[in-house]
């Protein structure tokens, strides 16, 4: 089964074109108009082993919120669509990722009950063109749209860039584990369905 998805999402605030393969080689092109958002989404897809092409034209004359949120929603919908019935997957994933002085942990459950607890304290208002308040919001929006459970925690760190990137990389590594095929045709659930 090919685990891919194409999402075209257009609102009055953003226009997004996205293609995703869960079984890729980490070939990623992201262009949102917000450099640090591009950086985080590229890190996420690369370290998850996904192939991702994402372009977004957003109302950046307002601010970066709609672009950040809508890209996360589109990527989450793509993950959900690519997973299909969620049979034959590991379902759970957990990982730590360091980046110099920063260390983050992420735990993922691909159950279809969306939840996100993101503990990512940042010191500054912005990193590049991205408001720091939008960084944990991207992860939460992704989890909700993908219908997965995510717990992401910054364990330590001083530099906001490092803290954010480590958290996205930990999430990527946890996702990589969770989406991994097991060879089974069953849903990994005692209920028999996800």
Task: Please give the average per-residue pLDDT across 161-188, as a whole number.
Answer: 93
Q: Is residue 188 over pLDDT 80?
A: no
Closest by Cα among 102, 114, 112 to 170: 102
156, containing H or E segment = strand 149-156
Query: Collapsing DSSP states into helix, strand and coil, what is residue 121?
Result: coil
Q: Are 80 and 145 contacting, i.e. CB atoms less than 8 angstroms apart?
A: yes
Strand order in the sheet with 51-58: 4-10, 14-21, 51-58, 28-31
Give the list of residues 6+ apart from residue 41 with CB closer than 8 angstroms, or none: 28, 30, 32, 52, 54, 71, 75
- pLDDT value at position 91? 97
* C-alpha–C-alpha distance, residues 177 and 186, integer Å: 17
* C-alpha–C-alpha distance, residues 116 and 93, integer Å: 14
Copy the structure tokens of residue 31.
């262009």
Task: Please give the average per-residue pLDDT across 11-36, as a whole number.
Answer: 97
Give the list of residues 6+ apart from residue 113 with CB closer than 8 angstroms, or none: 147, 149
Q: Is residue 1 over pLDDT 80?
A: no
Task: Please give the average per-residue pLDDT across 144-164, as a whole number.
Answer: 98
- pLDDT value at position 185? 77
The Cα diameter of the chain in Å comes to 49
> Domains (ranges, CATH) in the chain?
4-178 (3.30.230.40)
> What digits encode the pLDDT tens for the residues 68-119?
999 999 999 999 999 999 999 999 999 999 999 999 999 999 999 999 999 9
- pLDDT value at position 193? 67
Task: Please give the average per-residue pLDDT across 2-27, as a whole number.
Answer: 96
Task: Please give the average per-residue pLDDT across 38-59, as a whole number.
Answer: 98
Angle at 148 between CA 142 and CA 150, to 5 degrees: 75
> What digits encode the pLDDT tens for the residues 123-145?
999 999 999 999 999 999 999 99
* C-alpha–C-alpha distance, residues 6 and 3, integer Å: 11
């Amino acid at each position: 089964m090919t685990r891919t998805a194409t999402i075209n999402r257009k609102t009055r605030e953003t226009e997004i074109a996205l293609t995703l393969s869960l079984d890729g080689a980490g070939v990623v092109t992201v262009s949102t108009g917000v450099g640090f958002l591009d950086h985080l989404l590229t890190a996420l897809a690369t370290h998850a082993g996904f192939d991702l092409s994402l372009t977004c034209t957003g109302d950046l004359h307002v601010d970066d919120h709609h672009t950040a949120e809508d890209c996360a929603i589109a990527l989450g919908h793509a993950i959900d669509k690519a997973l299909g019935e969620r049979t034959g997957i590991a379902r759970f994933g957990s990982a730590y990722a360091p980046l110099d002085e920063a260390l983050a942990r992420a735990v993922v459950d691909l159950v279809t009950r969306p939840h996100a607890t993101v503990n990512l304290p940042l010191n500054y208002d912005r990193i590049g063109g991205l408001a720091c308040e939008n960084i944990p919001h991207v992860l939460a929006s992704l989890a909700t749209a993908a219908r997965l459970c995510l717990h992401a925690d910054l364990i330590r760190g001083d530099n906001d860039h490092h803290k954010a990137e480590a958290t996205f990389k930990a999430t990527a590594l946890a996702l990589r584990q969770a989406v991994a095929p097991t060879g089974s045709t069953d849903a990994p659930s005692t209920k028999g369905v996800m």
